[in-house]
Amino acid sequence: MTDKLTNAQIAWRAAQDIADGAYVNLGIGFPEMVARFQPPGRQAVFHTENGVLGFGEAPTAGDEDWDLINAGKKAITLKPGTAFFHHADSFAMVRGGHLDVAILGAYEVAETGDLANWSTGPKDVPAVGGAMDLVHGAKRVAVITDHVTRKGQPKLVERCTLPLTGVGCVTRIYTSLAVIDIEAGRFILREMLPALSIDALQNVTGAKLHVTDPVGDLICPEV
């Protein structure tokens, strides 16, 4: 297996597809990294389920105000125009279709667009949180993830075996090896690492990869 992208590089690649002015919710943990890599000249408006819209970057260590946090309990900063609102209003924004993009992590993604990304294990966020609302309320749902588990098993599969977060909700996956769209119940390969062959990628993917257009090179800077 060829070298793979780092988490930061996956996050960088996902950030390139966020439009200027888009309203974006980033899942807890790894997806929060996407906010670090907004392209020059673009500025997303970030939303968090606990009731903040348009917040800024994470503060430097030692300058945190722990009254100002996101849904993952990470410290945030304020920008001109940052808004605070009730938790119920925050979920009304989600359920009302006011978010352009939700970017989440995953344990499994099926070729049908089904997503499994939650666990009640001792080291995980308890229960599903707001993810079930996000995957059906946001206009576009993307996933960032390693292509395989720590044991080398595919995370992109024909059918999820873990409890579902949402059904038919994911449209694009950014992995450590490729960028893959989900269309009509199929994985459509869009980009992959230049040193990787389609056969090698297929060997670590649990469902058939389809090629409908020339496959681009997945090239990310060192970040």
User: Is residue 134 within 8 Å of 25, Cβ to Cβ?
Assistant: yes
CA distance 28 to 103: 10
- Reference 194, options 49, 53, 21, 4; nearest CA is 4
Q: Cα separations (Å) of 56 from 1, 3, 60, 86, 194? A: 38, 33, 12, 19, 35
Helix, coil or strand: residue 108: strand
In sign, the C-alpha dihedral spanning 158, 159, 164, 167 is: positive
List 49, 57, 108, 111, catalytic entry: 49
What the block records as the tokens of 125 is 């966020």
Give yes or no: 158 in active site.
no
Q: Contact 154/186 with Cβ under 8 angstroms? A: no
Positions marked catalytic = 49
